[in-house]
Amino acid sequence: MNEERSSSPSKDGKQKGWFGRLNQILTGEPQDREELLGVLRDAQQNELLDGDALSMIEGVMQVSEMQVRDIMIPRSQMVVVELDSSLEQFLPVVIASAHSRFPVVGESRDEVLGILLAKDLLPMFVNNNGDDARLNLRELLRPAVFIPESKRLNVLLKEFRANRNHMAIVVDEYGGVAGLVTIEDVLEQIVGEIEDEHDFEDDLYILTHKNGQHIVKAITPIDDFNEHFGTELSDEEFDTIGGLVMNAFGHLPKREETIELNGFMFKVIRADNRRVHLMQVTRIEEGASEDLQEPRANSA
């Protein structure tokens, strides 16, 4: 005697129904990108896809639509080494920036002669016993890769992987240097911000260094900032210190941009094309006015 199995709603049935929708969309060629993203977001809500995976998939899809000009470090903010500079002149720049690669330029930033790797300086410096008279930067240079501003990020990432490059110099339509981009800049569009020496615990807003500098998250509530620094900044218009600083800039600041505000120097050390993430804060004037002063912005 055959028994009929009654069909009742269940989680398995919901999953099969969802997979059926996904299969139908994938095999039937989705009408647009939003339709596909909608299915993936449904999968995340149904716990078939975790949030991090969904975020990375969205990042991959976004990268295929973005161009180098969208994420490059502008020419004005490039940290470069001049070919005719001495070790004594450029070594502090290398140490302060904490970067691993530096464009080496000739008479101007449009004349990029090659890329200097910080690690290549170590044996040269040791062998010369600190004497830079015999230091020839040309001998240390790696070839520079030049790319147009319009190059798609997914294409650039593929080239970075194939050629094992980590940095490219971006040129405009006239051949002038517009900026630079690194493989980390591209990967961060997919996986989010990559942790570095400035990262600290999620439940902390402010990290204080022994040298008197402070690393402050842009999402730090103004009340917490006031309590830490003994200030009385108003939180009537903005809830976070990042909002207050961005208002003072008058635009979305990029990395390395600085502004003086209320006796403090705010330097952006991490930002993307949507918001500021981290700032370096240094007290420059004790007993500064508690009222918001006229800010002065600079681009490093």
Instruction: Check pLDDT > 60 for residue 8.
Output: no
pLDDT digits (tens, 9 = 90+) for 39-50: 777 776 777 777
Class of domain 69-191: alpha beta
Tell me the mean pLDDT in the region 163-173: 92
Of 239, 237, 247, 215, give the one whose Cα is nearest residue 228.
215
Torsions phi, psi of 63, nearest 5?
Answer: -60, -35
d(C-alpha 163, C-alpha 146), whole Å: 13
Q: What percent of the chain has pLDDT over 90?
A: 23
d(C-alpha 134, C-alpha 142), whole Å: 19
Instruction: Check pLDDT > 50 for residue 80.
Output: yes
pLDDT digits (tens, 9 = 90+) for 203-236: 678 888 666 678 898 889 999 999 999 988 988 8
Mean pLDDT of the chain: 77
Instruction: Check pLDDT > 90 for residue 62.
Output: no
**Where is mean pLDDT largest: 15-24, 65-74, 284-293?**
65-74
The two most distant CA atoms of the chain are separated, in Å, by 98
Amino acid at 254: K
CATH of domain 206-299: 3.30.465.10
Confidence of residue 27 (pLDDT cuts 50, 70, 90): low
Instruction: Output the CA torsion 15→19→20→26 (10° steps).
Output: 160
pLDDT reported for residue 290 = 39
